[in-house]
Amino acid sequence: MAKIGLIRCEKNETRCPLTGCLNCLENGVQGFVGHDGTSLVGVFTCRCPGEGLVNMAKILKSKGADTIHFCTCTFAHREGGKWVEGEGFCDHVDDILAQVSREAQIPCVKGTAHLPEGYRPQVFK
Ligand code: SF4
């Protein structure tokens, strides 16, 4: 059973209640494929430019998280009714995931719900 911490972007926090992310987590689909069952440990909101994220990840870890997922809207955008890779909310999301996984010593997965076609969730370890 994977214990998941979620990190979302502040740019979407007043518009998205994470419904899709939480559904996918619960059902082990989209960005959560590959886990042998999932449970949610907690959620944090990233604030630009991302300071404090390593500490948030360490707190999630202390609460039992073994993996952190970053929301799809950080690296993809909606276009013509579909989600397309690129032009997400964060222009340095890869740097963030690399830093958090390295400094908090926890795998970070780029993606949650509505993955762009052909995209396979990238894991930073
Ligand atoms: S650093 Fe990136 S993920 Fe974090 S709030 Fe800013 S744009 Fe969003």
DSSP string, 30-87: GGGTTSSSEEEEEEEEE-TT-TTHHHHHHHHHHTT-SEEEE-GGGTEEEETTEEEES-
CATH class of the structural domain 2-124: alpha beta
Among 8, 10, 44, which is best to mutate for testing ligand 1, by the most ligand atoms less than 8 A from CB?
10
Average pLDDT on 49-75 reads 97
Percent of the chain predicted with pLDDT > 70: 100
Domain regions of the chain by residue span: 2-124
Q: Is 114 in the pocket of ligand 1 (CB under 6 A)?
A: no
CA 49 to ligand 1: nearest atom = 1
Note the Cα 13 to chain centre separation in Å. 14
Q: Look at residue 9 in the predicted model and tell me its pLDDT.
A: 98
The pLDDT confidence band at residue 44, using thresholds 50, 70 and 90, is very high
Q: Look at residue 96 in the predicted model and tell me its pLDDT.
A: 97
> Mean pLDDT over all residues of the chain?
97
Query: Which two structure tokens, joined as six digits, stand for 76?
Result: 């993809």
Q: Is 49 in the pocket of ligand 1 (CB under 6 A)?
A: yes
Query: Rounded to two decimals, what is the model's pTM?
Result: 0.96
